[in-house]
Amino acid sequence: MGKDVKTSDDADLIGGAHRIAEFLFGSADEQLRREVYHLAEHHDLPVFKIGNKLYARRLKLHAWIEARESGAAAPRG
């Protein structure tokens, strides 16, 4: 597959803490970008790194949010 070929997986991928913050919070100021890292480290936010850049998949973020809405995830201290 060439670099210019887009797949449906590409549309699901969010690259960068600022874009993940925009997706989760509707804004991406420095505090919200830091919150993305905090959630990833302490609350199992489904993200991964490639090099120094953080990535997430929209579908996994939706599932993570839904789990919190339904109370399925136990709160962590």
How far is the CA of 73 from the CAs of 8, 27, 34, 63, 64, in angstroms? 29, 25, 22, 11, 9
CA-based torsion, 68, 73, 75, 77: positive or negative: negative
Residue 45: is its pLDDT beyond 80?
A: yes
pTM higher than the cut 0.75:
yes
CA distance 52 to 32: 18
User: Which pLDDT belongs to residue 1?
Assistant: 45
Segment 10-27 mean pLDDT: 94
3-state secondary structure of 6: coil
36, 47 in Cβ contact below 8 A?
yes
Residue 74: is its pLDDT beyond 50?
A: yes
